[in-house]
Structure 1
Amino acid sequence: MCYQITLAREVICEGIGLHSGKLSKIKLLPAPEDTGIIFVRTDLAGCPQIEAVAENVTTTLRATTISNGQAQVFTIEHLMSALHVCKIDNCRIEMSSEEPPVEDGCSAIFFAALQKAGQKKQQKKRKEIVIDKVYRIDDREKFVVALPYDGFRVSFTSLNEHPLIGIQYADFTINKTTYEKEIAPARTIAYEKEIEQLRSMGLGLGGSLENVIVYNDKGWINKLRFDNELVRHKILDIIGDLRLTGGIVKGHFIAVKSGHKLNTALAGLIRRNVNT
């Protein structure tokens, strides 16, 4: 029998947000049994709380955003990814602004912080989400599927029309060791020609060559950590979005060109149909 886990102690991460460009300080705190993952906007009156579950997703434009009334938190997927792989059931996340820090554009900083915090086993049984049938979300040529599997596995195919990238495929059985080495270091990627458009939309204001891998028609502007870093980052994202099922998942997830919209839709479909 698996029991719920929370953090053993408080840990802090700080820096600027990828899209907001604002300074952000987050405290990852232990939480009681059955709390789940809760974001708390300590900078707002009344410190509103937002539960990290699929029904609270309000937009998926370039990031996953969850809201409760007027309070929102966006670009949660990197932090949620690390929490998912570390199998943290209960965590209170106090935030000084609307977006976690981007650090270097991956989830390694959050994974390291969770290792530093340590874990505390609790008394109640874990809410494990076990995939017991096929679930599928389609959007024309894009799709994501959940299949029964004894473990946690992600297979992702990325198709990009740019000749520099083309088709990338990766398949990993996800555990802490694999994640730390193969997935957590993979950074956010952007096409140089899109950057000004994103900034005109109020997005990517904290992006730089320190936290985003950028490419143009001539090649990569900064050095890659992996030849297929883009698809590895896609896997990082889907791991985070799947934590919006409300529990630790067990299954095989196969995605083609999927993004936050399809990922979170799948999380919502699973959440509505699987008993936790």
Structure 2
Amino acid sequence: MQKQRTLKTEISYTGIGLHSGREVHATLKPAPEDTGIVFVRTDLPGAPQIHAKAENVTSTLRATTVEDGHKVFTIEHLMSAFHAHRIDNAYVELDSEEPPVADGASLVFFELMAKAGIVEQAKDRKEIVIDKVYRIDDEKTGRFVMVLPYDGFRVSFTSLNPHKLIGVQYEDFHIDEAVYHKEIAPARTIAYEKEIQALREMGLGLGGSLENVIVYNDEGWLNPLHFEDELVRHKILDVIGDLRLAGIIRGHVIAAASGHALNTQLAKEIAAAYAGR
């Protein structure tokens, strides 16, 4: 059996939220065994806690939101880094409702966790070892996400984008800390220039910039890419983060054009199936 893990020491980061555009101070802290990942809203009276669990997902509009009396949103990049490091327990203190966007990916969070250090705890981990196929389909579009048994953690993702600049992208990675750090963590979120104004009118993307978002238009990219297929790598980053809401998973994730809605539905199905095991 593997042992649970937490951070060795606390570490902080200050930035702005991707959608809110508000400055936020984030502090990642060690947590006792069996705590899970817990967000703490230090800006609210009594510093309420929001548990990052699949059952607490309330919205997937352009980001993943969890609510437990109070809410935090756009948590997927941070959760992805926790999953990659296989961290079971941590507190995330925030003085706003959204973590910092940082680099628009998860590299900053991944490296912060590594800098803080990671330690094993005494109790065994309740790893989710996938023992059959779990699958969520969007029958109208043909999009799907599934997970099947696999000795390790692997993600195969096909991204389908009608824009001629992007098209079909596919990647397949056996995820460990080294692979994630090099191949996934630097992959940033993406935006189509013509959609940005409409998003901002909806109160979304207010903290987005060419420093943390890759932007394209009908002529090309407005900023340099980290990878030629950065979009599909970011999609992998997202699904890793969304599935962490079910727990730390051992299995092979296969997805076609999946997003937060399908990802979190799968997380809920997995969490329900493994409850009490």
Equivalent residues in 2 for 1:154-165 (5 A)? 154-165=155-166
Residue 221 of structure 2 corresponds to 220
Asked if structure 2 preserves the Cα contact closer than 8 Å seen for 1:7 and 1:120, the reply is yes
Whole-Å separation in 2 of the counterparts to 1:83 and 1:14 = 18
Residue 34 of structure 1 corresponds to 34
SS at match of 1:244: coil
Q: CA RMSD in A?
A: 0.7
Whole-Å separation in 2 of the counterparts to 1:118 and 1:104 = 21
Residue 264 of structure 1 corresponds to 264
Asked if structure 2 preserves the Cα contact closer than 8 Å seen for 1:130 and 1:274, the reply is no
- The offset of 1:127, in angstroms, is 1.4
- The offset of 1:197, in angstroms, is 0.5
Whole-Å separation in 1 of the counterparts to 2:107 and 2:264 = 22
SS at match of 2:66: strand
Runs of at least 5 residues in structure 2 that lack an aligned partner in the other structure = none
- The offset of 1:274, in angstroms, is 2.0
- The offset of 1:77, in angstroms, is 0.4
Q: Percent identity?
A: 67
Whole-Å separation in 1 of the counterparts to 2:258 and 2:120 = 34
Residue 83 of structure 1 corresponds to 82
Segments of 4+ moved more than 6 angstroms? none
Runs of at least 5 residues in structure 1 that lack an aligned partner in the other structure = none
SS at match of 1:79: helix
- The offset of 1:52, in angstroms, is 0.5
Whole-Å separation in 2 of the counterparts to 1:119 and 1:181 = 19
Whole-Å separation in 1 of the counterparts to 2:170 and 2:263 = 17
Q: 2:137 aligned with 1:138, yes or no?
A: yes
Amino acid at match of 1:98: E
TM-score by structure 2 length?
A: 0.98
Whole-Å separation in 2 of the counterparts to 1:127 and 1:36 = 11
Whole-Å separation in 1 of the counterparts to 2:103 and 2:127 = 31
- The offset of 1:248, in angstroms, is 1.0
Asked if structure 2 preserves the Cα contact closer than 8 Å seen for 1:63 and 1:74, the reply is yes
| 1:177-213 deviation digits (Å, cap 9, x = unpaired) | 0000000000000000000010000000000111100
Residue 56 of structure 1 corresponds to 56
TM-score by structure 1 length?
A: 0.98
